[in-house]
Amino acid sequence: MHTFSLAQLRAGLDRREFSSVELTQHFLGRIAAHDRLLNSFVTVTDDEALKAAHAADARIAAGSAGPLTGIPYAHKDIFCTQGVRTTCGSRMLRDFIAPYNATVHEKLQQGGAVMLGKTNMDEFAMGSTSESSHFGITRNPWNPDCVPGGSSGGSAAAVGARLAPVATGTDTGGSIRQPAAFCGITGIKPTYGRVSRYGMIAYASSLDQGGAMGASAEDCALLLQAMAGFDPLDSTSVDREVPDYRAALDADLTGLRIGLPREWFGEGLDAEVARVLEAALDEYRRLGAEVVDVSLPNSELAIPAYYVIAPAEASSNLSRYDGVRFGHRCEAPRDLEDLYKRSRGEGFGEEVKRRIMIGTYALSAGYYDAYYLKAQQIRRLIAEDFRRALSGVDVLMGPVAPFAAPAVGQMSEDPVQMYLSDIYTLSVNLAGLPGMSVPAGFAGGKPVGLQIIGNYFEEARLLNVAHRFQQATDWHTRVPAAFA
């Protein structure tokens, strides 16, 4: 059952070929058997999952099942879940149990989906390798000596190993697309404002966006359908109708215009990754698409702009963790200042501290105009680049990362190299556009993802473009031998 698509699982449940309880037990058994190697879960909610599965079976028997009723899923441990701890991969929130549900979680629960547990992640979503978690590193199911990407690495590894059919993720600068690419799965970051951020613990509020991760574009379409929509509890949520993502999947691609940003295919892109991407583009040509060159001239400015804006917002968002109201509190503080210093010093990891320091500096008196304001101006230039490029094409395509999954420890020892690995994904978040990663082949035995970027609120088009590619190829069906 773990190799079935969501459509196959839905059909099997509706035909009573298996129950949600049996399906949930199957995936819980796989987690118990395999996750010691991957460490993709922080918390496994066995009892809660089986209780939800029993309720789902009752809904199915009553004829009131929705598309996700009885379907198990994994939840990135950044979404608040009432009664179940939400850690953000940090010692600071190691024992935090939220008193309310994130809107995304509420939507999935109302739809009858079954949460298997909460997945591991880079601490407070700050990282590109899933090595900064207080709960230990997560490993890549295709090669345990390699990282799964980050920050949604736990979700990507769980889906890649088929420990869960689908999973939620969040993307601030590539944190859905990059781990999806490294783990050989499909992941979509929707337009900023499409998915509610209420109850999604903030890293950088103007960049964070929840999204879907699954084996295929069709699976992502079904999950995103349940997640998306306006939320009055989120001031950044956009009040715009959500289309039927699945209905548009089979649209013909004849005449589709694909733009290739020439800045993304030069120096720095691994030759084997480039070969895989060229083969994928050839497949699109066979499907009737036209490939043209476009330019994103300010692409090289995305990294410095992002690594000013995101840490600045993080320094503000993380100031609430002071040891007073919730989160880690140091032992026997001498006074209030000691409480603040030691609670934060003990509760946060090195990467989080580094970004708080950078962000606080960028926002400090005398430096705000020179750094933060300038970065926001660059952000506008990047958005304008995308507007011009997308005015003449339907979608953009390119690499997700310059290379396939690196070895454990390779980038965590060199933060600058880790930051540079996000060069193709950061600009999409700065512009607020939708983007996704689609399995396109292998380089050195490791998965490679093709990035597809569309105009605002054109998630349906991206999913259609990805789905037709997946109908013509089988990369998305490949499962690591150890987890087949």
Q: For residue 375, what are the contacts with CB-CB under 8 A and spacing of at least 6?
A: 304, 305, 306, 308, 309, 312, 362
Told to judge if 175 belongs to the known catalytic residues of this protein, a careful annotator would answer yes
Told to judge if 446 belongs to the known catalytic residues of this protein, a careful annotator would answer no
Q: 195 with 209: CB under 8 angstroms?
A: yes
Q: 358 with 295: CB under 8 angstroms?
A: no
Alpha-carbon span 105 to 233, nearest angstrom: 14
Strands 186-189 and 209-214: antiparallel
Question: What are the pLDDT digits (tens) for 46-63?
Answer: 999 999 999 999 999 999
Residue 13, amino acid: L
Domain residue ranges of the chain, discontinuous segments joined by +: 6-256+393-483
Its CATH class, for the domain covering 6-256+393-483, is: alpha beta
pLDDT for the residue numbered 239: 97
Question: What are the pLDDT digits (tens) for 73-87?
Answer: 999 999 999 999 999
| From 42-56, 177-191, 286-300, 403-417, the region with the lowest mean pLDDT | 403-417
Q: Given pLDDT bands bounded at 50, 70 and 90, which one contains residue 390? A: very high
The pTM of this model reads 0.97
Catalytic option among 5, 19, 40, 76: 76
Closest CA to 470 of 190, 152, 273, 214: 214
Question: What DSSP element (H or E) covers 437?
Answer: strand 435-443
Q: Given pLDDT bands bounded at 50, 70 and 90, which one contains residue 326? A: confident
Burial of 392 (0-12, 13-18, 19+ CB in 10 A): exposed
Q: Is the dihedral of CA 23, 26, 32, 38 positive or negative?
A: negative
Closest CA to 422 of 304, 314, 311, 276: 304
pLDDT for the residue numbered 418: 82
pLDDT at 34 over 80: yes
Q: 183 with 23: CB under 8 angstroms?
A: no
pLDDT for the residue numbered 123: 98
pLDDT at 415 over 80: no
The CA distances from residue 463 to 247, 260, 299, 394, in Å, are 10, 18, 24, 13
Catalytic option among 130, 175, 315, 427: 175
Q: Given pLDDT bands bounded at 50, 70 and 90, which one contains residue 134? A: very high
Q: 212 with 227: CB under 8 angstroms?
A: yes
pLDDT at 461 over 90: yes
pLDDT at 401 over 90: yes
pLDDT for the residue numbered 413: 75
pLDDT for the residue numbered 125: 97
Q: Given pLDDT bands bounded at 50, 70 and 90, which one contains residue 417? A: confident
pLDDT for the residue numbered 7: 96
pLDDT at 411 over 90: no
Q: At what angle do helices 459-472 and 271-286 cross, to 10 degrees?
A: 90
Give me the mean pLDDT over the 322-329 stretch. 92
pLDDT for the residue numbered 254: 98
Told to judge if 151 belongs to the known catalytic residues of this protein, a careful annotator would answer yes
CB atoms within 10 A of CB 307: 21
pLDDT at 416 over 80: no
Name which residue leads in pLDDT, 171 or 364.
Answer: 171
Establish whether the linkage from the previous residue to 151 is cis, with ω within 30° of 0.
yes
Alpha-carbon span 456 to 434, nearest angstrom: 6
pLDDT for the residue numbered 412: 76
Catalytic option among 5, 130, 151, 427: 151
Helices (H), 228-270: none
The mean pLDDT value of the chain amounts to: 96
Alpha-carbon span 311 to 441, nearest angstrom: 34
Q: For residue 9, what are the contacts with CB-CB under 8 A and spacing of at least 6?
A: 1, 23, 71, 165
Q: Is the dihedral of CA 154, 160, 163, 165 positive or negative?
A: positive
Give me the mean pLDDT over the 441-454 stretch. 98
